[in-house]
Amino acid sequence: MKSILYLGIMMLSCITHRVCYAQGENNVWMFGQNYSLDFNQNPPLLRDDVYLNGTPYGSTSQSPMPITLNKYNYGQAVCDENGNILFMVKSYVFTSGMPAPSIFDRDEVPIEGTEFLMANDFQHCRPVVIPHPGNTKQYYIFYVRNGGLIYCLFDLSLNNGRGDIVPGYKNILHFAYNNIVSGKLVSVQGCDGVWLITRHRIHNQYLSFKIDINGLASSPVTSEVGQMLPDSYYGDIFDLVASPNGKMLATVVNNGNLNNLVGGTELYDFEKCSGKVKNARFLDPGSSFSYGVGFSPDNSKLYVAYSEYNASYAWMSSENREHKLYQFDLSLGNIADIENSKTLIFTNPTINAWEPFCPLNTPMIGTMRIGPDGKLYMTNGAKQVCPSTGGMALAIHAINNPNIQGLACNPSINQIYNSQNGMSNAFILSRVNFPTEIIKASAGLPDTVVNDKFELDVCFKADTSLKVPAGVGCIEWSTGQTDTSIIVIQPGVYWVRYVKDCTVYIDTFDVDFTLMPQIDYVQYGCPGYITLNAGYIGGKSFELELYNSLGGKIYGGGNQSLHQVFNLDEGQYTLKIKSAGADCDTTIEVELKEYPLPDIAITPTFAEITYGAEVLLKAEGAMTYIWSPAGSLNTRTSNEVIARPEEDTRYSVVGINDYGCRDTTYALVKVNYNKNIRVPSAFTPNGDGLNDLFQILGGAYTVRKFEVYNRYAQIVYRDNGNNTGWDGRYNGKNCDAGVYYYIIQVDFPDGTNTLLKGDLSLIR
């Protein structure tokens, strides 16, 4: 749906610009040497301009008209909407060797004081007449003198209705001398006026001068465009034309061995709203002397005139060689396809031209122009017939169906001719060219269409592209950019103004972003313990479903800002994500990869020690270590530990590498408890330091019971638990020598025990 704001009166679209505003203004084509083509007749009638106004010259003889009447090369008849002549412009007129008036009234009477400036290059420039968009009685008349853009402002209301140049607006230099290619002037209807477009003579530029209700703009719109060097475009014989819809321009560039550059046809896009010439592309490069070009009424076909080499006429200049007309199908779009559509339409017929010898000569094809009847017309360039051979003089070719592809366009050679008069040899150029088309500004201001606002929710992206439709111009974004698309990264309201077919459109975008949760597409972890992280604490909440590579669902979590799934293996996982509170969902793939594990080794992996001894255990292959059990170790976090187990112990060490991954290995330490206990059968407590005590010898044990009895079964010694031994005394007195009896019970570290009994001899 669109809401539309209308400014001015809505007009129906036109198939071509002629349908809308040409009407009868272009019904009379007046061109050099007194010839005119009158479309007020059906079919159009070729005749001289004097005859056009009811005063036919001479008889039907083929003698040329006097030089005083036809000594000019280009002309322009300006008509009203009904096809009635209002005034005429003749670009190059002399009377008795002196410049004469260049503007004539409706009766072809010269208007005194309207002489144009003369120059060497003026004779090559057709005048361009543009009605003043702000004054229906006034007309701008442009021409080029010595590379300078000159204009006069002509007003039909002056001089008692005959018309005259507005005082102060005669032969005004609007753009400096030596800067304009004189043969390359074309006018195009703009969106709110008319553009006069020309090629710069020095720089790689096209200049577009705007004429609107306020008059002629003081400065042109400059377009840096063109694939050839500036000198390649210079040459008044080569055309610059506009398509009927005003959206394309075409010019022909002669090869001429200039700077070793090829010739051909160059196409451009024209932006009617801004006057910019854009997108130069070269068609059929290397073509031999292409010089004329024209569009079909529906803008789909391009016709190009060539001068091609012919061995039979190798001695002739390129202007006089065989001339052919080719058609190209622009609707194909691609330049290569367009070039492949090249079709020969006709070859300009050879005629007898030069008196008195009348050699064979193929003349140049004149400028191409679409008539009010939709046909494409061009002159065959013949000057005059030899009086001795008879036949026609100047003739006009026609393409009857120029919109149709190939020879079905129905070319007609010399379809129109007039044998009443001839053309003076002395003052004819190599081409006989039709006048330029009179282009009027469109009525009213451009319409403005305001489209409904686009509500744009950008799902799971940090930026988005906003675009204008294809084929639009004069683009202006709220950001100040002028590109066909912009990238935005912030939420907000953006608008763009653009023009299509001279209607102004305004689009508005209300952009909101739902950012993708923070998820790394490749995540790492230790084998078997990889943790998948999606989102972060404090972020936007979202739902998450996790699937393994086999499609099995292994996790489903509701709206939360951080989802973590632990103890996963390496592999591909699919995440289905749905935003909370927004219509955004997507599926992504995440790859989980394993870090390398440490390779841990212990030296030794097995040791056997006697009870109470120790052993050194050493680990390697990691950055940090954790040993256990730690009770019998001197430390638990070093790569080297001292183990003093009291029983068989299996030690483990966990090694951690740079990635935090762990590996575990083990070492076994066995303990020998030494249960070989010896009890002496006699001792001599005489103080000599030898065998003075009765005590248990060897082994690792704990005394639970140690008692010595005399022969009367009296206890004379009881161990206090420190196994210091009996010194042969009882209550501080030496016991008598003799036989005694002992009972000893000991416990070993492995939990076993033994009971020892026997006789003991005390010797003194």
Confidence of residue 362 (pLDDT cuts 50, 70, 90): low
pLDDT for the residue 426:
37
Domain count along the chain: 5
**% the chain with pLDDT above 90:** 60
Whether the model clears a pTM of 0.85, i.e. scores above it, the answer is no
Answer yes or no: is 96 within a domain. yes
Asked if residue 677 is part of any domain, the answer here is no
Q: State yes or no: pLDDT of 78 exceeds 90.
A: yes
Q: Could you tell me if 715 and 638 lie in one domain?
A: no
Beta strands in 219-332 (DSSP E): 221-224, 240-242, 248-253, 264-271, 276-283, 290-295, 301-308, 322-329
Write down the pLDDT at residue 211. 98
The larger pLDDT score, comparing residue 99 to residue 739, is at 739
Q: What is the pLDDT at residue 342?
A: 96
The reply to whether 33 and 132 lie within a common domain is yes
Are residues 157 and 51 part of one domain? yes
Higher pLDDT, 1 or 689: 689
Q: Check which CATH number belongs to the domain holding 287 and give it.
A: 2.130.10
Q: pLDDT at position 415, please?
A: 85
The more confidently predicted of residues 697 and 360 is 697
| Same domain flag for 268 and 376 | yes
- The pLDDT tens digits of the residues spanning 271-289 come to 999 999 999 999 988 666 7
Q: How far apart are CA 720 and CA 135, in angstroms?
A: 139
Averaged over 529-555, what is the pLDDT? 95
Asked, for residue 471, whether it belongs to a domain, the answer is: yes
Give pLDDT tens digits for 161-216: 999 999 999 999 999 999 999 889 999 999 999 999 999 999 999 999 999 999 99
pLDDT at 699: 75
- 695 sits in the region (left: phi over 0; alpha: psi -120 to 50; else beta) called beta
Last residue of a domain, one of 672, 693, 718: 672
Q: Are residues 646 and 725 in the same domain?
A: no
Answer yes or no: do 324 and 180 share one domain: yes
Least reliable range by pLDDT among 9-23, 152-166, 588-602:
9-23
Residue finishing a domain among 478, 497, 514:
514
Q: Who wins on pLDDT, 321 or 585?
A: 585
Is 586 among the domain residues?
A: no
Q: Based on the fold, state whether residues 547 and 507 are members of the same structural domain.
A: no
The pLDDT of 746-757, averaged and rounded, is 86
Are residues 360 and 422 both part of a single domain? yes
pLDDT exceeds 80 at position 650 = yes
Which of the residue ranges 228-242, 311-325, 693-707 would you say has the lowest mean pLDDT?
311-325
- Does 144 lie in the same domain as 107? yes
CATH of the domain at 708: 2.60.40
- Alpha carbon dihedral 179, 180, 181, 187, in 10-degree steps, equals 160
Residue 440 burial (C-beta neighbours within 10 Å; 0-12, 13-18, 19+) = buried
Helix (H) / strand (E) element for 335: namely helix 335-340
537 and 507 both lie in a single domain: no
Are 508 and 529 contained in the same domain? no
* Domain coverage including residue 637: 601-672
The verdict on residue 160 lying in a domain is: yes
Question: What CATH number corresponds to the domain at position 477?
Answer: 2.60.40.10
Q: Is 199 within a domain?
A: yes
Mean pLDDT, the chain, whole residue set: 85
How many other CB atoms are found less than 10 A from the CB of residue 525? 22
Query: Does a structural domain hold residue 296?
Result: yes
pLDDT at 503 over 50: yes
Backbone torsions φ then ψ of 49, nearest 5 degrees? -70, -25
Percent of the chain with pLDDT over 70: 82
Inform me whether the pLDDT recorded for 442 exceeds 80. yes
Same domain, 351 and 369: yes
Write down which residue in 640, 672, 704 finishes a domain. Answer: 672
591 domain residue, yes or no:
no
